[in-house]
Structure 1
Amino acid sequence: MKRTASQLADGREIIYFDHDSAPLRELHDPRSLDPVSTASQMRHDPVLDEWVILASHRQNRTYHPPTNDCPLCPSTPDHHTEIPSPDYDVVVFENRFPSLSMHAVGEDVPGLPPLVESRPAIGRCEVVCFTSDHDAAFATLKPAHARLVVDTWADRTEALAALPGVAQVFPFENRGAAIGVTLGHPHGQIYAYPFVTPRSRQMLGNAQAFHERTGRNLFAEVLSGERASGDRVVTTSSHWTAFVPAAARWPVEVHFYPHRRVLDIPSLTDAERDDFAELYLDVLRRLDGLYDMPLPYVAAWHQAPVSDPSREHAYLHLQVSSIQRAPDKLKYLAGSETGMGAFITDVLPEAVAERLRSTGS
């Protein structure tokens, strides 16, 4: 992998991740850009014991531009984008409209209740462009290119985890307008949070309690149980298993677990990374074949927190979830889900797994 770092016109970092045979990239950004906002703040909800990030400047972020004005496509002499080069394999850059920033100063907020703490939203938000091809998708990448994305995730996880104040690194992909994606170019993001997220705190708290009761790892037991049953396994390989969890919340939900327990993406071996790329592409194509349409989804990597004591109970895994419950129907978070956090699903996990197995790739 060839790694080339530079800066955009407003000082944001950009990093090219190329195959070894790739040519040198154009690094100069000729645009004139306004400074990036540093006003992000976060407030603590004392009732739920959760941090909420406020980034009002994101209301003005780029929203569904026409294809010929896509900011994630390579630059041309007539159209300068976020990527100065005329081509690229994979590229990462700091988000121009970040929810979190290492330069965040927040704002003094008069009148907050005494129990509500406010802080600058220190952290970092990066955009990961999977390919220069605007009309592609992760599912259409070749295995060697998908492996390059995995190596990119590993590189950025290590780099972001080393930043002062970062507590958790979260690579993810939002795909499809139904999910809320505002840019059609195939891309994902990485958030470096200054706190351990509520979902991770709950999972790792349960894993710690399970270990104290049994001496075993909760995630490893879940994987073992699904592999032994096989009813919800979509596909398996030498190093990974993809399955629909028995208590899936979403109409389509697939979890990807490595057979060897590791804490984060950088800990994966070359063989495990290669194997994941092949298996992931297979499942993504099955997902697109489920309703014979590009499935909208969120792909979320669950990695161990950077230094939290709960880190030792973590187990790296990827969760892909979709709100598409039928070709023409979406799953909305209505009263029970939004008000109480109690999910009600209209489909059986076993039925979804069987359909994905029969769909093939």
Structure 2
Amino acid sequence: MTETQPHRRMNLLTGEYVLVSPQRMARPWQGERKNDGIHNRPAHEPDCYLCPGNERSGGTANPDYGDTYVFPNDFPALLDESSERAGDQLFVEEPARGEARVICYSPDHSATLARMTGEGRRAVVDTWCDLSDDLGSRWANVQIFENKGAMMGASSPHPHGQVWASDFLPTIVQRENERQRNYYENCGDTLLGEVARRELGDGKRLIAHNEHWIAIVPHWAAWPFETLLVARGDFRRLEDIREEGRSALADILGTLLPAYDRLFDTDFPYSMGWHGAPHGLGADCAHWRLHAHFYPPLLRSADIRKHMVGFELLGETQRDLTPEAAAERIRAELR
């Protein structure tokens, strides 16, 4: 049934369903490949507000940094200020506090995580871990993420990510927390630990793995080439990762992300983000397994993207390309 007939799959982390319609892939098409000159960007762009030494839009000048560089977001979505909201039983409102920072991955304007050296990627991994540890000491949740490419709304092509720390658990994190806790209490094991074991044994959705990490197209993937990166060890938060695990993470990113770029010979856009145990849970997080989501929008070419419209907005998420077929195509681009 799952290879040729429409069916639904449950997202184990949220409880939501995805409609899979593989019969729609029978129509012929050849995915366009596009070399968009991504390797021709300069190492330093005078007008880029994230390059070393340049002035940002908020008026602050960047230092002449030579590695990763973190600074407070000049236009943060969250503020470290108390507020009172006058909601009622129908129109509910509540205060929201936090802080936001920007993470410049490299001083090189032309770089991406896919094209950085292993040493450069390792520096980014260390920065992620340090930020999770630092901000987690003060906030209930730390969301580290990257929007890569103009298609995903990135305001600058300079390699960078963001971190938003908040005094509340965002909706999706709360859902993941509840689903993982329920599984742990009922089965005595972590949900994503079991997923990783099953995917390693099955192999149909497996992309790459090493001693500490596994990259898969999840069984419930919504986006065409969505991937899930799961810790194989008992890592619950980024700061739990020790030396070998951090190097292994830099390595598997160096396997997955260049394969993405080779799919359509383009600088592959995506939104990615880390989900670890919310710091507001304290030590009550045995049910969590650290993982990262990668959500690329591209469908058939460097220019044709998947749009979540119509049935997706009004009913539930739908996809044509099966997760198994997507994994096979990504694996074909591994080097």
Q: TM-score higher than 0.5 here?
A: yes
Which residue matches 2:110? 135
Instruction: Compute the RMSD of aligned alpha carbons.
Output: 2.2
Which residue matches 2:161? 188
Q: Deviations 1:130-168 (Å, cap 9, x if unpaired)?
A: 0011111111111111111111111111110112xx211
Is residue 270 of structure 1 aligned with residue 240 of structure 2?
no
Cα distance in 1 for partners of 2:255, 2:176 equals 28
Is residue 319 of structure 1 aligned with residue 297 of structure 2?
no
Q: Would the aligned equivalents of 1:168 and 1:306 in 2 still touch at CA under 8 Å?
A: yes
Q: Which amino acid letter does the alignment assign opposite residue 269 of structure 1?
A: R
Identity %: 31
Cα distance in 1 for partners of 2:113, 2:61 equals 19
Deviation at 1:105, TM superposition (A): 4.6
Aligned counterpart in structure 2 of residue 212 of structure 1, from 185, 193, 210: 185
**Which is worse superposed, 209-218 or 323-332?**
209-218
> In the TM superposition, what are the counterparts of 1:52-71 in structure 2 within 5 Å?
67-71=45-49
Which residue matches 2:311? 336
Q: Deviations 1:334-354 (Å, cap 9, x if unpaired)?
A: 1232234x2101211111111
Report the TM-score, using the length of structure 1 for normalisation.
Answer: 0.75
Q: Would the aligned equivalents of 1:73 and 1:133 in 2 still touch at CA under 8 Å?
A: yes
Q: Which amino acid letter does the alignment assign opposite residue 180 of structure 2?
A: A
> In the TM superposition, what are the counterparts of 1:1-361 in structure 2 within 5 Å?
67-75=45-53, 82-102=60-80, 104-106=81-83, 112-163=87-138, 166-308=139-281, 311-327=285-301, 328-340=303-315, 342-361=316-335
Deviation at 1:108, TM superposition (A): 6.0
Q: Would the aligned equivalents of 1:241 and 1:257 in 2 still touch at CA under 8 Å?
A: yes
Q: Would the aligned equivalents of 1:70 and 1:81 in 2 still touch at CA under 8 Å?
A: no
Cα distance in 2 for partners of 1:183, 1:81 equals 16
Q: Would the aligned equivalents of 2:98 and 2:164 in 1 still touch at CA under 8 Å?
A: yes
Cα distance in 1 for partners of 2:169, 2:96 equals 13
Deviation at 1:70, TM superposition (A): 1.4
Report the TM-score, using the length of structure 2 for normalisation.
Answer: 0.81
The number of aligned residues is: 289
| Bigger relative contact order (CA 8 A; separation at least 6) | 2
Q: Which amino acid letter does the alignment assign opposite residue 347 of structure 1?
A: L
Deviation at 1:238, TM superposition (A): 2.1
Q: Would the aligned equivalents of 2:85 and 2:95 in 1 still touch at CA under 8 Å?
A: no
Poorly superposed stretches of 4+, deviation over 6 Å: none
Deviation at 1:212, TM superposition (A): 2.5
Structure 2 gap ranges (5+): 1-43
Which residue matches 2:37? none
Q: Which amino acid letter does the alignment assign opposite residue 135 of structure 2?
A: L
When residues 135 and 194 of structure 1 are mapped into structure 2, their CA distance, relative to the original with a 3 A threshold, is same
Q: Would the aligned equivalents of 2:79 and 2:98 in 1 still touch at CA under 8 Å?
A: yes
Q: Which amino acid letter does the alignment assign opposite residue 173 of structure 1?
A: E
Cα distance in 1 for partners of 2:290, 2:230 equals 7
Cα distance in 2 for partners of 1:326, 1:107 equals 47
**In structure 1, the residue corresponding to 2:193 is in which secondary structure?**
helix
Q: Which has the higher strand share?
A: 1
Cα distance in 1 for partners of 2:198, 2:115 equals 32
**Which is worse superposed, 82-91 or 265-274?**
82-91
Deviation at 1:291, TM superposition (A): 1.0
Cα distance in 1 for partners of 2:184, 2:253 equals 30
Deviation at 1:113, TM superposition (A): 4.1
Cα distance in 2 for partners of 1:97, 1:75 equals 20
Deviation at 1:218, TM superposition (A): 1.0
Structure 1 gap ranges (5+): 1-65
When residues 154 and 345 of structure 1 are mapped into structure 2, their CA distance, relative to the original with a 3 A threshold, is same
